[in-house]
DNA sequence: GGTTGAGCTCGAGCGCGCTCTAACCCTTAG
DNA sequence: CTAAGGGTTAGAGCGCGCTCGAGCTCAACC
């Protein structure tokens, strides 16, 4: 059930249906303090390796509770942060910037302005990237058309 | 060969999102047969370093004519190929794939089908990337909205 | 209760794509 | 005629983001 919810959240994150519904994603992974997940479960759902999850923790991007025998036990907060982290990574945010961001988050509410700056900057980067990719896509499609239609490409 | 397609790719390069000098690119494609450009000129216009241009040549992505004293003298064909190469690189195509592609181009017209496959595959990659980035953008904008609009209760 | 397998830490290694250095060569301005 | 400044080569080095291995502990299943 919770596992399913996580799966759904991640499917939304990776492979969006027609409308992008950020609200829904947000709801799907909201607090749910009963359950916890093992490292390989989380890794599989986020499409990263357990090694990577340990690495992220090691470099201070998040802290993960342990079970009595010392194993990582990812709670809802950890998973939510990981969803954020992996999405930012996939969209090209460098790890150093993620470290800066989570440091601000952990520092408390007086850093909100700075976090906002960081997000605004990333938004601009994303828009720029999308524009560039669309241009590359147009160029690629044009070349494809030249190969398929034109007798002398 | 596919000079025309490369030229078209260059034409599509005319309106990059930020910074790239449109006039400069026009300079680069004007005077097709008469002129040649030095390495630092080309590097500046393509926004890469001369080191990178030598590197691309070294790994076989293109060949560049030399002037009588042995210096690189980029002609229109070389520049067109570099426009293509840099565009593909910026849109995430790995160098190994570029090597494969230019190898096919250099192998002659019987490799057209294979080149087309490669381009189709890249097109799909681009579409997927764009979709992902748009989702990340939506998520980022949502977070920004949460910070700016919602006065925290 | 022994074996299998997953997780743990620590630290080294790696693949990619440049990026830089060393040592030398040419062209051009003063 | 000299000196600056950019070009040439081969090859080493680097930053990023993992990725893997060694050697161990622990839990679970037959």
Q: pLDDT tens across B3-41, in order?
A: 333 344 444 444 333 334 444 555 555 555 557 899 999
Does the beta carbon of B120 lie under 8 angstroms from any beta carbon of chain A?
Answer: yes
Predicted confidence at residue B127, as pLDDT, reads 95
Predicted confidence at residue B82, as pLDDT, reads 95
Rounded Cα–Cα distance for residues B10 and B7 (Å): 5
Q: What end-to-end distance do the CA atoms of chain B give, in Å?
A: 65
Regions of chain A short of the pLDDT cut 70:
1-34, 150-153
Predicted confidence at residue B35, as pLDDT, reads 78
Does the beta carbon of A119 lie under 8 angstroms from any beta carbon of chain B?
Answer: yes
Rounded Cα–Cα distance for residues A93 and A101 (Å): 11
Predicted confidence at residue A36, as pLDDT, reads 87
Rounded Cα–Cα distance for residues B145 and B148 (Å): 5
Predicted confidence at residue B25, as pLDDT, reads 54
Q: Which nucleotides of chain D have an atom under 7 angstroms from any protein CB?
A: 6-10, 16-21, 26-27
**Which tokens in the block code for residue B112?**
């057209």
Contact B142 A22 (CB under 8 A): yes
Predicted confidence at residue B34, as pLDDT, reads 59
Predicted confidence at residue B5, as pLDDT, reads 37
Q: Decide: CB of B49 under 7 A of nucleic strand C.
A: yes
**Which tokens in the block code for residue A136?**
């590359």
Alpha carbon of B51: minimum distance to chain A alpha carbons (Å): 24
Predicted confidence at residue A35, as pLDDT, reads 78
Regions of chain B short of the pLDDT cut 70:
1-34, 150-153
Alpha carbon of B7: minimum distance to chain A alpha carbons (Å): 10
Looking up tokens 């057209």 gives: B112
Q: Which pairs from A111-118 meet CB under 8 Å and 24+ separation?
A: A112/B147, A115/B147, A116/B144, A116/B147, A116/B148
Rounded Cα–Cα distance for residues A10 and B137 (Å): 16
pTM of the full predicted structure? 0.82
């Amino acid at each position: 059930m919770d596992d399913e919810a996580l799966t759904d959240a991640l499917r939304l994150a990776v492979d969006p249906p027609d409308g992008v519904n950020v609200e829904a994603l947000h709801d799907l992974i909201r607090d749910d303090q009963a359950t916890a997940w093992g490292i390989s479960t989380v890794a599989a759902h986020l499409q990263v390796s357990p090694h990577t999850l340990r690495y992220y923790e090691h470099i201070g991007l998040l802290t993960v509770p342990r079970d009595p025998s010392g194993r990582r036990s990812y709670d809802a907060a950890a998973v939510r942060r990981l969803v954020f982290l992996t999405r930012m990574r996939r969209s090209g945010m460098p790890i150093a910037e993620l470290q800066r961001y989570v440091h601000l988050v952990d520092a408390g509410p007086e850093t909100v302005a700075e976090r906002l700056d960081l997000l605004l900057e990333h938004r601009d980067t994303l828009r720029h990237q999308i524009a560039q990719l669309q241009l590359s896509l147009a160029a690629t499609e044009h070349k494809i058309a030249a190969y398929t239609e034109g007798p002398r490409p």
